[in-house]
Structure 1
Amino acid sequence: MITNPILPGFNPDPSICRAGADYYIATSTFEWYPGVQIHHSTDLVNWRLVCRPLDRESQLDMRGNPDSCGVWAPCLSYADGLFWLVYTDVKRLDGNFKDAHNYIVTAPSITGPWSDPVYVNSSGFDPSLFHDDDGRKWFLNMVWNHRTDSVGGSPKHPAFAGILLQEYDADAGKLIGKPQNVFAGSDHGLVEGSHVFKRDGWYYLTVAEGGTGYEHAVTMARSRALAGPYELHPDTFLMTSKDAPEAPLQRAGHGQMIETPDGEVYHTHLCSRPLPGLRRSPLGRETALQKCTWGEDGWLRLAQRGLVPDVTVESPDPESRRTPPVAVRRTFAGERLPDEFQWLRTPHPDRLFTLTGSALRLHARESIGSWFEQALVARRQEHLKFRAETTLRFEPGNFQQAAGLVHYYNRHKFHFLAVTWHEQLGRSLSILSCPGDWPDSRMEFPLKTPVALPGDGPVDLAMDVDGAEIVFSHRIPGGEWQRIGPMLDASVISDEGGRGEHASFTGAFVGMAAFDTSGSAIAADFEQFAYMPEEG
């Protein structure tokens, strides 16, 4: 069986394609670098991260991008012996404008080399590329209308002004002809995330609607002509959890259909798993997969009937078994950063970190939460209950220097156990916490008095997260673990914490951070990092 989510943790807006017997899913990465995650599978059950293609300055530079901007809703396709990746780099979130720039890159293999980008347009976000069977290519994106007073923390329908269609000339690398607004969406509103699938002479259009919160949905329509007019599905939606508040997979929407070599149909979608009793999802928007069937009326529906997505789904290969989660411990002895880690915004990671052969050395830069150069290297939280540990060598010389273990969402949602310096205590431990204070991002300091650290050697730091609770601890290597500070609210490190579900689009990360606001770029050496899940 397929067990959902198939890509746990922050993996939203899944675009799926097939090349022969190989399946690939591309997901949004927002401000995290490198851009776009692509996972591979041969059975739709087990998935492995194979690349992040946007890995150099000519393709992506997000320095200065606000939180939850950057790479939105990529579309991955395979045609003409090439992989085609369409993506948006969003430069503004708040206010009436979005400043969303759309690009295309290509590669002969999923692992590259990926081309420099071709600029396409900036009329809206969530682009996709449809390869018609006559060889012509068509570019779609939602169009953003800034002429409305309905934007803000919870944007309403008028800003989402429909789906644009325009032909793309791949040889010339540009759009040709005039754009056409081909689909206004249903009455549910907030139409975005369009993908086209052709079958039996019909063009099937799926879109995301309802916003990316608890009203999210996949809406379907079809037409005999690509430019429409489109008729809505008899049920309007292909899937949604909006009327099933007890369903384990909430916020279901924004995905794409795929056909197996044997003609079976599946549809990806994003979802979230809120903490029990709370409408907060620390794991962010994750990727799930549903089996679908074609009805006699020519419409696609979930195989289990109804609109609510299932946790377990029949797979194409009954012999496949899902690989269980395991603890991962990294010693940073190699020459490259382990695949699960990312950093923020910049295409110049050498200014943030280097690998010494025995440690990950962070070069402390701007403050935690900076939108430009922040020395923070982290991996996704993929489980609601886990423990993380690291060993740190760090000798701060003033209170403006800090390094340690962080549970991080963005500049106004984090908990940071840091080694720093205190005038009376010298080298010491402090906790810097920003529990969702937006827009000021004011911190709290749960330790009224920092805890002095003996000597100048390494220190082990740990966090234990269990649902909505996080507890930090520390030890001198060889000693006993000691809890430090009070229990903190881990649930705020979530989409819904702080500004809420319509303004926070990533997910919780756990990792290593360092800052030096004195400007001397002090080094902090992390000798190991362990992530130990305690449940699926």
Structure 2
Amino acid sequence: MNWITNPILRGFNPDPSIVRVGDDYYIATSTFEWFPGVQIHHSRDLMNWELIAHPLNRPSQLDMKGNPASGGVWAPCLSHDRGVFYLVYTDVKTSKTLAKDTHNFLVTAADIRGDWSEPVYLNSCGFDPSLFHDDDGRHWLLSMVTDHRKGRNPFGGIILQEYSVHGQCLTGPEYRIFQGTELGCTEGPHLYKRGAFYYLITAEGGTGLGHAVTLARSREITGPYEVDPANPILTSRNDPTLALQKAGHADLVQTQNGQWYMVHLCSRPIPSRGRYPLGRETAIQKVEWTEDHWLRLESGGNRPLVKVPAPGFPVCPAPAVPARDDFDGPRLSLHFQTLRIPLVEDSLSLTERPGFLRLKGRESLSSKHHQALVARRQQSFTYTAATCVEFEPENYKQMAGLVCLYDHENFYYLRISYDDQLESKCLGIWSCDNNVFSYPLDRDVLIKDWQRCYLRVRVDYDRLQFYYAQNDREWRAIGPALDAGRLSDDYCREGKFTGAFVGLCCQDLTGRRKHADFDFFEYVEEGRE
């Protein structure tokens, strides 16, 4: 028997939504303030997954300029009906406030790899929209609804309204179909029909250590919904020994041979630290229906497993992701993302100097508007990332280098800049800890006559060490070992929902767009977890 090893999507890949079309499986996950929006992975065996698309890839679909950290795209829902893929998503403009601004949209495509349509605006009632296609040809939109009124539950339950495909709008009455259970924080709804029942899955308990999956059912789509007496049907709450923590926010899929699986959010902590720099990941569990028509884990109980029986299909390995990118192609790898907006020729070029990624200095790492930054997810507790940069700053306001980043308030930055007193190019470290800046080096390292500078970082669970070299062999450590565990939603203030990234960036705070040329980017996992 083959076994699936969880998580199936490592690193920051939360809020999974799964759909099967024929023999192909697709999972969509949240991207928050990272652009392009939504990650879509593909598999044919539920074991091996390949990143194939970012459907929200132009500002007309998703303009997140100014969005808060951990705003942007929340909990997309991917579905398929009559030859068309549907993707609904929220663009969260404000969240850490009493009244939230959460705008819901729909895009469609005949081919999941795109192009996806221009968005249809749906509503702004809440977040986590989900589209259900009934067997009578009708379409229904669900979401949680927010409530800012004094004394009210801010998670006001699950609402349902019909969607008109031809009219491209919501139509008819809005139904409040579920108030949630005593776990609270009712969100992430998905609806299914099996036999005589409509089944409603929700995420409850908050997206942290109390997270859970709950189930309810009704003979009518508009309710009333009967709560599963065995809720929660999946959770890791109150069990710190489990490898997969924060289990919740689930979606179901039936295989072509009649088996059922549940994908869900999870997270893995640094041992003994309680920090989660890999963010919220995606796992899968095998489930089955009972004689009294409720859903249960095939393994029994409600705890997530690391090893899960595979469905028995032929194994289809995903293509290996190259460790090194020499920037020889016309476009960035799918594994790179930018912050909030796409980087066009005024900020990024792969053609002005072929074989190099040219970043043109923009705003600071603290900006929520225009950053010249390209990064990829940290997907292992232990990795090494490296680059080589050619950069000739003329001012201390011009910087470029290698960054390990959670968000605009939490990062470590190994940057080349200019010391105007010594009239020399220099290398130093910036640290930002919940928006408090520090400088781990007493003084910058002078690299006055270096045309090229190699930069490297090694992360080993909670230990982060930077290195530099004039060539790619004689590496020297720079600065002290830093705390990689700070790049975690459990450390960052106000509650955050993403994960650690590593990448390349360039700033020019004079506004002159001084550029830096990066020869390559390399990301190598050590695989000791």
Distance 1:370 1:388 in 2: 24
**Following TM superposition, by how much is the alpha carbon of 1:323 offset from its aligned partner in structure 2, in angstroms?**
6.2
Distance 2:344 2:106 in 1: 24
Residue aligning to 1:198: 193
Residue aligning to 1:265: 260
**Following TM superposition, by how much is the alpha carbon of 1:398 offset from its aligned partner in structure 2, in angstroms?**
0.8
RMSD: 1.4
Q: Are residue 430 (structure 1) and residue 428 (structure 2) matched? A: yes
Pick one of 362, 379, 382 that aligns with 2:376.
379
Q: Are residue 308 (structure 1) and residue 306 (structure 2) matched? A: no
Distance 1:444 1:312 in 2: 43
Pick one of 79, 82, 85 that aligns with 2:81.
79
Q: Are residue 291 (structure 1) and residue 286 (structure 2) matched? A: yes
Distance 2:378 2:312 in 1: 29
**Following TM superposition, by how much is the alpha carbon of 1:509 offset from its aligned partner in structure 2, in angstroms?**
0.3
Distance 1:385 1:96 in 2: 39
**Following TM superposition, by how much is the alpha carbon of 1:327 offset from its aligned partner in structure 2, in angstroms?**
6.1
Q: Are residue 125 (structure 1) and residue 119 (structure 2) matched? A: no
**Following TM superposition, by how much is the alpha carbon of 1:349 offset from its aligned partner in structure 2, in angstroms?**
3.2
**Following TM superposition, by how much is the alpha carbon of 1:456 offset from its aligned partner in structure 2, in angstroms?**
3.6
Residue aligning to 1:365: 362
Q: Are residue 404 (structure 1) and residue 401 (structure 2) matched? A: yes
Secondary structure in structure 2 of the residue aligned to 1:491: helix
Distance 1:243 1:369 in 2: 36
Verify the 8 A CA contact 1:65 1:371 in the aligned structure 2: yes
Residue aligning to 1:154: none
Pick one of 502, 508, 516 that aligns with 1:516.
508
**Unaligned segments of structure 2, at least 5 residues:** none
Distance 1:95 1:349 in 2: 32
**Following TM superposition, by how much is the alpha carbon of 1:350 offset from its aligned partner in structure 2, in angstroms?**
3.0
Residue aligning to 1:101: 103
Pick one of 464, 475, 478 that aligns with 2:469.
475
Q: Alpha-carbon deviations, 1:343-383, whole Å to 9, x = none?
A: 01114533321113211111110001210001110000000
**Following TM superposition, by how much is the alpha carbon of 1:514 offset from its aligned partner in structure 2, in angstroms?**
1.1
Give 1:517's aligned amino acid: L
Cα distance 1:327–1:468, how it changes in 2: closer, same or farther (>3 A)? farther
Residue aligning to 2:499: 507
Residue aligning to 2:414: 417
Cα distance 1:114–1:321, how it changes in 2: closer, same or farther (>3 A)? closer
Distance 1:196 1:148 in 2: 30
Give 2:113's aligned amino acid: T
Q: Alpha-carbon deviations, 1:26-82, whole Å to 9, x = none?
A: 000000000100011011011111110111121110001010000000000000210
Residue aligning to 2:184: 189
**Following TM superposition, by how much is the alpha carbon of 1:442 offset from its aligned partner in structure 2, in angstroms?**
2.3
Residue aligning to 1:222: 217
Aligned length: 523
**Following TM superposition, by how much is the alpha carbon of 1:496 offset from its aligned partner in structure 2, in angstroms?**
0.7
Verify the 8 A CA contact 2:126 2:143 in the aligned structure 1: yes
Verify the 8 A CA contact 1:66 1:371 in the aligned structure 2: yes
Distance 2:138 2:256 in 1: 23
Residue aligning to 1:111: 113
Q: Alpha-carbon deviations, 1:127-182, whole Å to 9, x = none?
A: 00000000000000100001147xxxxxxx81000000001111001111111110
Secondary structure in structure 1 of the residue aligned to 2:181: coil
Verify the 8 A CA contact 1:327 1:533 in the aligned structure 2: no
Q: Are residue 53 (structure 1) and residue 55 (structure 2) matched? A: yes
Distance 1:283 1:478 in 2: 28
Verify the 8 A CA contact 2:347 2:362 in the aligned structure 1: yes
**Following TM superposition, by how much is the alpha carbon of 1:93 offset from its aligned partner in structure 2, in angstroms?**
1.8
Distance 1:62 1:302 in 2: 38
Give 1:284's aligned amino acid: G
Distance 1:255 1:419 in 2: 44
**Unaligned segments of structure 1, at least 5 residues:** 150-156
Pick one of 435, 447, 451 that aligns with 1:457.
451
Give 1:477's aligned amino acid: N
Secondary structure in structure 1 of the residue aligned to 2:345: helix
Pick one of 519, 527, 531 that aligns with 2:519.
527
Q: Are residue 334 (structure 1) and residue 326 (structure 2) matched? A: no
Residue aligning to 1:152: none
User: For structure 1, which segment, 283-292 or 314-323, has the greater mean C-alpha deviation from structure 2 after superposition?
Assistant: 314-323
Give 1:525's aligned amino acid: D
Cα distance 1:76–1:493, how it changes in 2: closer, same or farther (>3 A)? same
- Share of identical aligned residues, percent? 51
Secondary structure in structure 2 of the residue aligned to 1:349: coil
Q: Alpha-carbon deviations, 1:401-458, whole Å to 9, x = none?
A: 11100100101110000001112341011100012x2xxx121100110010141411
Q: TM-score, normalised by structure 2?
A: 0.97
Distance 1:221 1:276 in 2: 35
**Following TM superposition, by how much is the alpha carbon of 1:479 offset from its aligned partner in structure 2, in angstroms?**
5.0
Residue aligning to 1:153: none
**Following TM superposition, by how much is the alpha carbon of 1:201 offset from its aligned partner in structure 2, in angstroms?**
1.6
Distance 1:344 1:244 in 2: 35
Pick one of 234, 237, 240 that aligns with 2:235.
240
Verify the 8 A CA contact 1:359 1:525 in the aligned structure 2: yes
**Following TM superposition, by how much is the alpha carbon of 1:389 offset from its aligned partner in structure 2, in angstroms?**
0.5
Cα distance 1:318–1:56, how it changes in 2: closer, same or farther (>3 A)? closer
Secondary structure in structure 1 of the residue aligned to 2:64: coil
Distance 2:87 2:233 in 1: 25
Residue aligning to 1:320: 315
